[in-house]
Every structure is written in structure tokens, then in C-alpha cells.
């Protein structure tokens, strides 16, 4: 199964890069969709990486876990692998916590641009009302993707060294 999670992680990183490339070329109206697509693919890559890290410890996953779910699985083994200690520290502060925050921001509903009036047939919403997502720029997304690829390489090489 490890090869399947490795393949899935690679696929998600590739899809994140495709979303990023499309976002760079997109018109303003389309940019939000590609930005959200990038966040989605990076989150899926993150969860796939967690499943990938669990495999050498004989912890199998039918679906890619969240960090909390992965920690729960390793705690059942009564030994927390050093990879999870490193990831936990990264999640407390830093770019990895920002990716998780952006993922959570996708689930915040859009806010109306103005109070609704009874004769409005179409309610206008502001795409910029979710400012947390709007703060993600192409440049910062490029940096996140680069860092995430380095993180994947680090954990894959780490597992080979012991």
C-alpha cells in the first residue's frame, strides 16, 4: 500500500502545480476557483503524506487521515514516531499551519456584499469576503508548494536512512 500512498501524494502535488499554473494565467473571475483548487490539492497531498508516513509503522489507512486522526492511530501503538513530533512542531507555528488554516477557511460561507432587499432576485456575494483565502497570493502558494515538496522528500529520505 505504501507505493499507492506515494503515488497518490505525487499525483496530488502534480495537480496542485497544475492548479497553480492555471491560477497564474487566470482572469480575476477565474482566479478564486484555481486558488481554491490549489488549496484542495495541497491538503489532499498533506493527508496522503500522513498515510505514507504511517505505512512503515504498520499502520494502514483506508483513506487519507487528518493529522489528528494520524496522531490517534500512532498513540494506539504507544510510541509516537519522530516524524510526527516534527510535524506537530511545524503545525504549531509556520507555513504548514497556514496551509491547514487556508483549508479550514474554504468552509466559511460567503458574506453578502450588501443587506438583502426583498426585490433582489439574485443575491450578490463578495468573493473577497473570505479574506483569509484572499491573502494567499500566487507567490506564497508557489513557496508553499516548494516547501511541501521538500517536506515530502525529507520524510521519504528519512525513512530510507534508518
For 93-151, how does the pLDDT look when each residue is reduced to its tens digit (9 = 90+)? 788 888 888 988 888 776 655 555 555 555 445 544 445 566 889 999 999 999 999 99
Instruction: Give the Å distances, CA to CA, from 77 to 59, 67, 80.
Output: 9, 16, 8
Domain span holding position 117: 2-161
Q: How many domains does the chain contain in total?
A: 1
Q: What share of the chain is helix, strand, coil (3-state, %, to 5)?
A: 70, 0, 25
> Environment class of residue 54 by beta-carbon count within 10 Å: exposed (0-12), middle (13-18) or buried (19+)?
buried
Say if pTM beats, i.e. exceeds, 0.85: no
For 7-36, how does the pLDDT look when each residue is reduced to its tens digit (9 = 90+)? 999 999 999 999 999 999 999 889 999 999
Using DSSP, state whether 125 is helix, strand or coil. Answer: strand
Amino acid at each position: 500500500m505504501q507505493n499507492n500512498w506515494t503515488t497518490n501524494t505525487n499525483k496530488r502535488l502534480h495537480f496542485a502545480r497544475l492548479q497553480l499554473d492555471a491560477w497564474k494565467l487566470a482572469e480575476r473571475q477565474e482566479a478564486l476557483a484555481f486558488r481554491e483548487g490549489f488549496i484542495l490539492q495541497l491538503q489532499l497531498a498533506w493527508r496522503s503524506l500522513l498515510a505514507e508516513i504511517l505505512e512503515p509503522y504498520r499502520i494502514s489507512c483506508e483513506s487519507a487521515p487528518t493529522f489528528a486522526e494520524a496522531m490517534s492511530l500512532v498513540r494506539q501503538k504507544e510510541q509516537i514516531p519522530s516524524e510526527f513530533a516534527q510535524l506537530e512542531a511545524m503545525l504549531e507555528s509556520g507555513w504548514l499551519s497556514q496551509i491547514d488554516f487556508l483549508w479550514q477557511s474554504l468552509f466559511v460561507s460567503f458574506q453578502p456584499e450588501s443587506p438583502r432587499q426583498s426585490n433582489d432576485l439574485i443575491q450578490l456575494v463578495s468573493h473577497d469576503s473570505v479574506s483569509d483565502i484572499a491573502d494567499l497570493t500566487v507567490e506564497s502558494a508557489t513557496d508553499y508548494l516548494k516547501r511541501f515538496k521538500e517536506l515530502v522528500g525529507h520524510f521519504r529520505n528519512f525513512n530510507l536512512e534508518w
